[in-house]
Amino acid sequence: MRYRKGRVGRVVVVRFEDGEDFLSALAELAKAEEIHSAVFYILGGIKRGSLVLGPGHEGPPPEPIWHEVAESSEVLGIGTIFWDEEAPRVHLHTAVGRADKVHVGCLRQEGETFLVLEAVVMEIEGVEARRLKDPATGLSLLEL
């Protein structure tokens, strides 16, 4: 285990509009506000996105099991923002549900808002952390 201690800095409350890609918008917000370390929460609606529901097998490199969100659904999630060498990287795990079907996974590539989606971004001050590509897994892992 590796860890660093920090404190909560700025808190940013965000409302994403219908059709907006909130994953890209979160990265843009982090860049514009120079937020290098943060945790965030989201809740609202999603109508399109790609979820990774786990690896296809246990060994590295992980082979993702993809699930496409293709219709309006409820979403609740928690994520982090840490930069790689040049830009913010958003890492978000969510529960996405519609009627009696719920999927939990890592939302990647796109997250299109359905009607409205809210986020609370809490900056973490005093922590030096980055996401670096791990050659063994191919993933961008948190480095402290």
Model pLDDT for residues 123-143, shown as the tens digit of each residue: 999 999 999 999 888 889 999
State the pLDDT at residue 139: 87
Section 48-56 average pLDDT: 96
The first and second tokens of residue 131, run together, are: 């996401």
In a domain, 141, yes or no: no
In a domain, 1, yes or no: no
State the pLDDT at residue 59: 82
State the pLDDT at residue 73: 98
- Sorting pLDDT into bands at 50, 70 and 90, what band is 60? confident
Model pLDDT for residues 22-31, shown as the tens digit of each residue: 999 999 999 9
SS (H, E, C) the chain: CCCCCCEEEEEEEEEEECCCEHHHHHHHHHHHHCCCEEEEEEEEEEEEEEEEEEECCCCCCCCEEEEEECCCEEEEEEEEEEECCCCEEEEEEEEEEECCEEEEEEEEEEEEEEEEEEEEEEEEECCCCEEEECCCCCCEEEEC
State the pLDDT at residue 28: 98
**Using CA atoms, how far apart are residues 134 and 100, in angstroms rounded to an integer?**
37
Quick check: 109 pLDDT over 90? no
**Using CA atoms, how far apart are residues 3 and 15, in angstroms rounded to an integer?**
31
In a domain, 55, yes or no: yes
Model pLDDT for residues 62-89, shown as the tens digit of each residue: 899 999 999 999 999 999 999 999 999 9
In a domain, 98, yes or no: yes
- Which structural domain range is residue 107 located in? 9-126
**Could you give the number of structural domains in the chain?**
1
